[in-house]
Chain A
């Protein structure tokens, strides 16, 4: 389990953990743009809400709504654990 203050990728968090987005390093430009439009920007608070029964995709809570994203994409999002 990642501890508070640790920098890691969003895919490494456990259910219930909260983090702040540090940088979005997604290589696919369209995917990155889409996530930006949906409010996944630098400084956004995200928490892990649910995990699909097979472990992937992961459902995250951000800006008051839930978004399901695959682990592979979450891996390319760097966050700082705050809770």
Chain B
């Protein structure tokens, strides 16, 4: 059986999807987290369930609407679960009235039912069933209440399938005046439903409003925002960074020594020993040393997303971003992009205006992502040994400057438009679910480690090979005669303008930065480890500071492309 999950943005679809399937899809407390459909199987059944992007209507005007509309009308689903935010019934039921016209079995799942009490509301679902003509079930996806009843209802046998017809008013060229009339009619029906089914008690001032009085206060909002962002990057790049990277780096160093001795005792040849210790352990280890920092960074971003503060940031900065041809919504991809550019770019779909979306897509990779973090920390530690934390976090502000300048250039020469609209729901603040955040951070860190185990492992071996052998395939040559030095020297002229000098070491690592940014650190560690004396190794770092800035803005790694 084919089941579709349809509902407004931020109504908890993905939470319900995870709950029904046992998967861990991405959740956030800002509108538009699900940008394409996800498919899974409902636990204990064979029903295929599709999580569709959040929409307010089945009209064909945005990419999200198109995806959901196609599913409902063309992919012939057996059951549609219409997830409805019970605390925001009126607006949610508009989509419900459209779904009911689709001739499909619709189950209305009243989500966040556990919050009704808190908001001083009570819903008569029997009455609602009667008025809508569809089964209504109260659930809480987060607390897993009512899920069994929902599955039971899905399992009920179906009447024969009917052909689905797209109502005429949902076609693209339908007159707007007539459309307005139909919407008016639907909403007056909905008002009646709400009037009959909801009892309101007097509700106290919501916590969200109290919080917003501070967080969106005219004088406090910006200082608070800057402090929060600075703390996030200072904590992950600075404090935790310098402490744990040393710790992990040392233990990986002694692990390398230990393995080296062990292999010597086992009688491994010199080059095998060097491959393992100088190539693999040094290269992969250098990158793995950054895992603790990433855990902090990913946790902070996850918190921003799930609490609802992200929507406030977007509201806060809309007026500034408008001046450079973007909207406040561009900020969400930027912040998510500081974890990894890829999900950041995917998130740009929440931006309605096409030019704004394209600009945001181009600009997101300028934000130093977590893979650049090792590079930033490495150089910061070298250039500013006493204040590397502050130096690293200020690099994010440097990135913002780069973004603003690039955006202005694009606005002037490429996308000659003015940012024309910003319509965004302001969700209430939510306490984040520890379970979800743990899982989210764990998944992202594992993905990083996996890359360390595959791409970076392979690259480390290649770099080691190119460094240890000369063009004549002799092992153990002086590093200056290695294949890599030869290649690097030959092409370093091309990098001279950006790197500031002819250094084959810097050239090679910059090239690798294109493949995967974290590889830069890895190959530097390998080069460094093989260099015969310390001065030769540190020569790599002796290039001008411009390299640092270069790496922070080298825009795209191949993963991004």
Is the beta-carbon distance between B425 and A65 smaller than 8 angstroms? Answer: yes
Q: Is B162 among interface residues, defined by CB-CB distance under 8 A? A: no
- Tell me the nearest residue of chain A to B98, going by C-beta: A37
Which residue in B61, B184, B319, B352 is a CB contact (below 8 Å) of A54? B319
- Find residues 86-124 in chain B having any chain A CB closer than 8 Å to their own CB: 87-91, 94
- Residues 402-454 of B contacting A (Cβ, < 8 Å): 420-427
Contact check, B217 vs A53: say whether CB atoms are below 8 A apart.
yes
B423 and A33 contact, CB distance less than 8 A:
no
Give the nearest-CB partner of A52 in chain B. B315
Cβ distance B226 to chain A, nearest Cβ, rounded Å: 12
Query: Does B180 make an interface contact (CB < 8 A)?
Result: yes
Residues 283-322 of B, flagged 1 when their CB comes within 8 A of A and 0 if not, give 0000000000000000000000000000000011011101
The answer to whether B423 and A31 have CB atoms under 8 Å apart is yes
Residues of A within 8 A of B217 (CB): 53
Query: Are the C-beta atoms of A56 and B183 separated by less than 8 Å?
Result: no
Which residue of chain A lies nearest to B180 when distances are taken between CB atoms in the complex?
A36
Chain B residues closer than 8 Å to A49, beta-carbon distance = 209
Contact B90 A39 (CB under 8 A): yes
A29 to chain B: which residues have CB within 8 Å? 176
* B420 pairs with A28, CB closer than 8 A: yes
Which residues of chain B are within 8 angstroms of A57 by Cβ–Cβ distance? 315, 318-319, 328, 422, 424
Which residue of A has the minimal Cβ distance to B184?
A: A41
Q: Does B212 contact A (CB under 8 A)?
A: yes
Q: Is B56 an interface residue (CB 8 A)?
A: yes
The answer to whether A28 touches B179 (Cβ under 8 A) is: no
Given contact pairs A28-B421, A67-B423, A68-B422, A55 touches B319 in the complex (Cβ within 8 A) = yes
* Minimum Cβ distance to chain B for residue A21 (Å): 11
In the complex the two chains form, is A64's CB within 8 Å of B94's CB?
no
Give the interface residue-count category, chain B.
35 or more
Tell me, yes or no, whether A32 is within 8 Å of chain B by CB. Answer: yes
Q: How far is the CA of A79 from the CA of B15 in the complex (A)?
A: 38
Cβ-based interface call for B59 (8 A): yes
Give Cα A63 to B87, complex, Å.
10
Select B426's contact among A28, A30, A68, beta carbons within 8 Å.
A68
0/1 interface trace, chain A 45-83, chain B, CB 8 Å (1 if under): 000011011111101000111111110110000000000
Using A33-B179, A38-B423, A64-B89 as known contacts, say yes or no to A56 and B94 having CB atoms under 8 A apart: no
Closest CB in chain A relative to B432 CB, distance in Å: 20
Contact B315 A68, beta carbon cutoff 8 Å: yes
Residues of chain B within 8 A of A50, CB atoms compared: 209, 212, 216, 426
Pick from B87, B219, B426: contact of A64, CB below 8 A.
Answer: B87
**Which of A36, A37, A53 interacts with B221 by CB under 8 Å?**
A53
Which of B94, B176, B420, B423 interacts with A68 by CB under 8 Å? B423
Interface residue? A14 (CB, 8 A): no
Contact A41 B180 (CB under 8 A): yes
Q: Binary interface profile of A, 7-40, with partner B (CB < 8 Å = 1, else 0)?
A: 0000000000000000010001111111111110
CA distance A26 to B88 in the complex (A): 25
Determine the chain B residues whose CB is within 8 A of the CB of A56 once the complex forms. 318-319
B255 close to chain A: CB less than 8 A: no
Across the interface, do A52 and B61 meet the contact criterion of CB distance under 8 Å?
no
Does B218 sit at the interface, judged by CB under 8 A?
yes
Tell me the nearest residue of chain B to A60, going by C-beta: B426
> What separation, in Å, do the CA atoms of A24 and B19 have in the docked complex?
40
CA distance in complex: A39, B423 (Å): 13
Query: Is residue B187 within 8 Å, beta carbon to beta carbon, of the partner chain?
Result: yes
Most buried by B among A30, A33, A65: A65
- Say yes or no for B549: interface residue by CB 8 A criterion: no
Say whether A2 faces chain B, with CB atoms less than 8 Å apart: no
Chain B residues positioned under 8 Å from A72 (CB to CB)? 420-421
B57 located at the interface, meaning its Cβ lies under 8 Å from any Cβ of chain A in the complex: yes
Residues of B within 8 A of A42 (CB): 180, 184
**Interface pair A38/B318, CB less than 8 Å apart:** no
CB distance from A75 to the nearest CB of B (A): 12
Chain A residues within 8 Å of B425, by CB: 65-68
Query: Within the assembled complex, what's the spacing in Å between the Cα atoms of A73 and B179?
Result: 20
Shortest beta-carbon distance from B180 to chain A in Å: 6
Contact B424 A68 (CB under 8 A): yes
Knowing A29-B176, A53-B222, A57-B318, the reply to whether A37 touches B59 (Cβ < 8 A) is yes
Evaluate contact between A32 and B318: CB separation under 8 angstroms.
no
Contacts of B420 in A (CB 8 A): 28, 31, 72
Is A66 a contact partner of B426 (Cβ separation < 8 A)?
A: yes
Show 11 A/B contacts (Cβ-Cβ < 8 Å), sorted by A. A28-B420, A32-B176, A37-B59, A39-B187, A52-B216, A54-B320, A56-B318, A63-B91, A65-B425, A70-B421, A72-B421
Sample of 5 more A-B contacts, CB < 8 Å, known A57-B424, A68-B422: A36-B179, A41-B180, A42-B180, A65-B88, A68-B424
- Residue positions of B touching A, CB distance < 8 A: 56-57, 59, 61, 87-91, 94, 176, 179-180, 183-184, 187-188, 209, 212, 216-219, 221-222, 315-316, 318-320, 322, 328, 352, 420-427
6 pairs of A and B residues whose beta carbons are closest in the complex: A37-B57, A63-B90, A53-B221, A66-B426, A54-B319, A65-B88
